[in-house]
Structure 1
Amino acid sequence: MDIGERDPVTGRMTTGHEWNGITELTTPIPRVVIFFLVVTTLFAIVYWILMPAIPLGRTYTKGLLGLDQKTQVEQQLQAANTERSVWSSKIETMDFAAIKADPALMTIVNEAGGTLFGDNCAVCHGTRGAGSKGFPNLTTGTWLWGGDPDTVFETVRVGINSTHPDTRVSQMLAFGRDSMLDRAQVSDVVSYVRSLGGVESAESASPESIARGKDVFAANCVACHGEDAKGKVDVGAPNLTDAWWIYGSNRQAIHDTIFNGHEGHMPHWEDRLSVTDRKILTLYVLSLSETKT
């Protein structure tokens, strides 16, 4: 078929190409395609003129608008730091009572404290501070070293059994493993300790075993846990009469604690967190028990 011949079916002109009787029509490009090609081309040209776009070795075309995302981000960060410095300087210089009395600052403490806790503490104490085996529950209001803000702040600063030169030091002796108590004495004192926390019953331990355990406790445990077994914050010894158990309250868990001992570890945060961040974290941690219902 020659060029210029009209196809009898469609009425369109042909290109002159033919394959086994099949001819190729001269189909024009759809106008909508041409429209979008023109629009996108014009947009690209305008963008190259107005915005930073074309690399030129170590630099680039700046564009008539002079926009620079790097500069914008730096300006936003500077503005955020300026805004933060206003309240962070207050928190750093004010005492805990004054901070708690300021609702605006406490709003910031709760917001920033949640982030600090999630980044630094949640891996051990849980996202809600409820703890797990070997890690204290921070929502109960029971504190190994004391629960006033200054004491908690110091614990956060130096840690427990950490590498800090001023670290708090605490250890539960291995009374069974180190042969300070024989197995019968360990079993008896387990019965007595469980009775203190209200988890031992007459069915699981005899009154005679509990009585013998009380004597063992008086001879070996009161130095740290006190005669009333309510613990001593100066040595980080827990209260054995409440419902909260770090390593578990069942008989086997308490037996393992007395027999093998424990030496918990909390890292110190003085090298990682600023004074302001540690104060925020202290108030946030305290709020976990204050807001619990």
Structure 2
Amino acid sequence: MDSKKIFFVGVIIAASGLVSPPLALLAGIVFGFSVAHPYRAESHSLAKFLLQASVIGLGFGMNLHEVIHAGRSGFVYTAISITFAIALGLLLGKWMKIAPKASFLITCGTAICGGSAIAALAPITDASEEDMAVSLGTVFTLNAVALLAFPLIGWWLHFTQDQFGLWAALAIHDTSSVVGAAAKYGPQALAVGTTVKLARALWIVPLSFATAMFTKSKAKVQFPWFILLFLLAAVASTYLPSFSSMYMPLNHLGKIGLTVTLFLIGTGLSRETFRQVGVRPMVQGVVLWVVVATLSLLAIRSHLIGI
């Protein structure tokens, strides 16, 4: 069977609902390391669209009051963690003598929203394709590790669903991996993780404006409109119960879309990805991520923060 057929079979299986999000990601990684990707660019574009559509679909299974409560608490925590992560990441990049633009993108991808932050900030900083490849490769690799490892750590530490959802939202890079890990842990973890993560993702906007002002860039700042649509879906789910028969199928489609998204993201990882990243940027990303994940975990366990 050639790579095109294998790819489409993988997408169909991921969309069948027969496999979990972590397993779909793992299958995608195996594909990426085993064969040449026949649709790399198309797969990347589809993954971005599917992720946003899936998050909106998940909103139809949320209660707005819980969303507001988690979002209000999460906004403060994310502000603190983002400020700390950016300061530490830039210091690490300078100390390790990593190319400034790649270092900045890795730092912001870790601090805010993984690939989404990198995609938003790259044109503003006039980053090269190599800078993009290095930063995205670093973030996506750590995303894969987090999606597989975080639920195991959460169960080992006997985290409640609220605790795990908050930890995943603060410590995992991309929305897709946060939602995937939280969905594996439980429905309440999914609600908290998705909401707090989207509150974290909103920081892309002020950081983009600040970066544009600092670099004097004229690139257009993109607002993540799918977050607003997620909130509107939660409003409908909460205040328009007469249409509830429509919400569950849309919510189910959101979960299936997320699983397909993770498979597509996994197929984008390959041996070439690791060759492009190199040792020092990966070390920067790993050290920064481990510090952020550990400090947020300790803060949650000691009840310094919570939902």
Q: Fold match, TM over 0.5? A: no
| TM-score, length of structure 1 as denominator length | 0.26
Q: Which has the higher contact order (CA 8 A, sep 6+)?
A: 2
More strand by share: 1
More helix by share: 2
